[in-house]
Amino acid sequence: MSSDTIKTALLQLSVLENKQENIKKAIRFISDVVAKNQVELVILPECFTGSYNVNDFASHAESVPNGEACQALSKIAKELKIYIIGGSVIEKDFNGKLYNTCTVWSPTGELIAKHRKIHLFHVEIDKQYFGGSKFNEAIALTPGNSFTTVMIKNKKFGIGICHDIRFDELARIYRNEGCEMLVYPSAFCTCQGPMHWELLQRGRATDNQLYVCQVSVARNPTTEYVAYGHTMLVDPWANVVCEASEKEEVLVVDIDFKKVQEVRRQIPIFPERRTDLYNTLKM
């Protein structure tokens, strides 16, 4: 495999009520996809260990990196010698605060990055828009306050979680720091999805000339919060490289990072930016 290419698996998993079963399923899917496709990187969805519901977050929360899901991801990453972007788990810190947290694991099983969701999901969408939705993570969760970049092979990734994708300033900071791919484990609802799922990913990719990926949980119409599904990867030209359906599904793709430099060379917008007039500052 070329140093400019990373064979990647995007796992759109259905989530059950039982945390232990969800973890076992994730490990089984990881093992299967690596055995069949020899992937180097696996990306999981947001809240893959339990239901996406403010009243349920505490029931499947765990410490990072010593919790049950974290230790399982560490073990399988080391065993298979792969990188894992571990979707997100609900993290409980030593003060009892809860965070929506993405962990990233190296082929040695080391925790190499941790991103606490910066922008907590809060919407009050009227019913005429695909049935509407009301949700406020801040009822149960605390926002993170740190940017998160990580090297996977020789490529820099920027990490966000779901609602973080709506804030272009975060993506711009990651681009300024040299990122070539942005990853957002996600669980968009079925009213947001048709309106903005693809639009936001293609927008972030166009503005920053990099890959953008959102990995969703599979849709379960029987749950209180119904996820959109449609896990997607968008390239630096803003073309959709691959897209899942709403059901449980695995996508395997060779991500060619040469395309990032090709796009930036052909449309050199960043050297032309008028930072004497405007800028995105990292505070």
Which residues, other chains included, contact 10 with Cβ-Cβ below 8 Å and sequence gap of 6+? 43, 213, 215, 231, 233, 242, 244, 250, 251, 252, 253
Q: How many CA atoms lie within 13 A of 14 on its CB side?
A: 11
Q: Of 25, 40, 46, 249, which one is the catalytic site residue?
A: 46
SS3 121: coil
Neighbours of 190 (CB within 10 A): 17
Among 138, 102, 135, CA closest to 117: 102
- Tokens read off for 109: 């099983």
117 is catalytic: yes
- Tokens read off for 23: 């973890």
- Tokens read off for 273: 């930016």
CA 186/CA 197 separation, integer angstroms: 10
Residue whose tokens read 């828009």: 129
Q: Of 47, 70, 102, 162, which one is the catalytic site residue?
A: 162
Q: Of 117, 155, 213, 259, which one is the catalytic site residue?
A: 117
246 is catalytic: no
Residue whose tokens read 């920053």: 208
CA 171/CA 282 separation, integer angstroms: 11
153 is catalytic: no
Neighbours of 80 (CB within 10 A): 19
| Dihedral of alpha carbons 239, 117, 156, 254, sign | negative
CA 21/CA 15 separation, integer angstroms: 9
- Tokens read off for 158: 């920027």
Contacts of 269-278 spanning 24+ positions with Cβ under 8 A: 269/209, 270/175, 270/209
Q: Among all residues, which ones are annotated catalytic?
A: 46, 117, 162
